[in-house]
């Protein structure tokens, strides 16, 4: 699956987390990860993450079934939490990648980038990334960088509810084997 996030010209946007689900027929998916790129040809990794642009520092997100929600956090190559910054007026490109085995003719894999169905149940509109992550509506965690580049511990994070182009049920892509 490929998708993109564009920050409007008003300011930078920070990304802390994306969530996906994967559903398959007669296939197994392992080593899932999300890679971030600066270009639409998916060839120049975003700096500040791992050298190859992975959201996680290792491929340790395990898929079990279509109900398994897989969460990908922005991390450095040293596995430290970070934020992926998208400068004002620019776009970052993301690719969900995994290894497929056991696929036979007619097998399919559906990957869904999840959206949030409601605002988090918090006392205010925004909070720290950890408090947003503790809510049931935590599929996307991002920051509008209201007072400058936000660290995950700053109270400047929101979920993905109401994001343009990301419905609460998510966006899906299906690939099939021939």
Q: pLDDT (tens digit, 9 = 90+) per residue, 20-55?
A: 999 998 888 888 899 999 999 999 999 988 888 888
26/11: higher pLDDT: 11
The structure's pTM equals: 0.91
Collapsed DSSP state (helix, strand, coil) of residue 132: helix
Which two tokens mark 82? 């970070």
**Around 21, how many Cα atoms within 13 Å sit in the side-chain half-sphere?**
13
What is the tens place of the pLDDT at every residue in 55-105? Answer: 875 555 677 777 788 999 998 888 888 899 999 999 999 999 988 888 888
Tell whether the torsion through CA atoms of 161, 151, 21 and 174 is positive or negative: positive
Helix (H, G, I), strand (E, B) or coil at 19: strand
């Amino acid at each position: 699956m490929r998708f993109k996030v564009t920050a409007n010209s008003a300011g930078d946007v920070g990304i802390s987390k994306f969530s996906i689900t994967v559903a398959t027929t007669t296939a197994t998916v392992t080593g899932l990860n999300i890679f971030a790129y600066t270009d639409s040809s998916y060839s120049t990794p975003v700096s500040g993450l791992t050298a190859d642009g992975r959201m996680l520092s290792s491929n340790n997100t395990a898929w079990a079934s279509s109900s398994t929600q897989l969460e990908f956090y922005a991390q450095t190559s040293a596995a430290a939490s970070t934020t992926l910054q998208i400068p004002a007026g620019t776009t970052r490109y993301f690719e969900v990648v995994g290894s497929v085995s056991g696929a036979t003719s007619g097998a399919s894999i559906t990957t869904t980038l999840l959206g949030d169905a409601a605002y988090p149940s918090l006392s205010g509109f925004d909070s720290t990334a950890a408090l947003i992550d503790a809510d049931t509506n935590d599929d996307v965690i991002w920051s509008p960088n209201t007072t400058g580049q936000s660290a995950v511990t700053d109270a400047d994070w929101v979920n993905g509810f109401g994001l343009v182009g990301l419905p609460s049920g998510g966006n899906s892509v299906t690939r099939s084997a021939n």
